[in-house]
Amino acid sequence: MSELRDANLIFRALIITGLILFGFFLAERYDLVSLALNADRSYISYLILCIYLLATAQWLWLSYRLSSERQEFRRLETAVAADEPPGPGSTGLLGAFLDNLNRKRDANATALLEAFGDQLLNRHALGHFLSDVLLKLGLLGTIVGFILMLMPMGEIREFDPSLMQRLLSSMSGGMAVALYTTLAGLITSTLLKMQYHLLDASAAELVTRLAVLVDVRLQHGAP
């Protein structure tokens, strides 16, 4: 089962991406995306969408790299289970960890494992930051929308039905900005957090399995 998880992380990421794209396709099919973008006079929704697409592209790249690390570790597990010396072909963070472990003079690998885990999770820091940025941009759109909605109130000097109609139309445009940018920020921020949670969980599992493997090897006197 672990072998399938190691090999299929990038495929799971692609499936999730496909489901998200299908959701956007359905929203566009019912003109929801176009309605939100066209109603946003602040263009904050465009910025939110662009940031989300770029962050998702980075997430796919990180999923591929983590999938490669997990497959390298799977080969290491197989070699250790067969009492064979690990091959010299390990690359990436796992390869650097094994090199440092082989050069280490004592049997305590806690510091190396913590450094390995920190390096894996630090790759995801930008994604978590961008998910917060998306949420903050949605809140910024809320404020901008309310400002746009309340600005026409200063133009009221006397009761004129035609003027009131224009003011209400302008106020409804500001309310649309507030609602659509908030919705865009909430949806994209939630999706991005979910995507990077998948990477965090996969990286944490890899560190746990590596810690167990190193402990077993050291108990058996392996370098």
Which pLDDT score, from 0 to 100, does residue 187 have? 94
The mean pLDDT value for 190-214 works out to 91
- For the cut 80, the answer to whether the pLDDT of residue 83 exceeds it is no
The mean pLDDT value for 125-144 works out to 93
Read off the pLDDT band of 165 (50, 70, 90): low
Torsion 54-60-63-69 (CA) sign: negative
Read off the pLDDT band of 95 (50, 70, 90): confident
Q: What percent of the chain has pLDDT over 70?
A: 79
Residue with token string 């810690």: 211
Angle made by CA atoms 158, 160, 165, in degrees to the nearest 5: 125
Give the tens place of pLDDT for each residue, 54-73: 999 999 999 998 988 888 88
Which of the 8 DSSP states describes residue 151?
G
Q: Name residues whose C-beta falls within 8 Å of residue 193's C-beta, 6 or more positions apart in sequence.
A: 128, 131
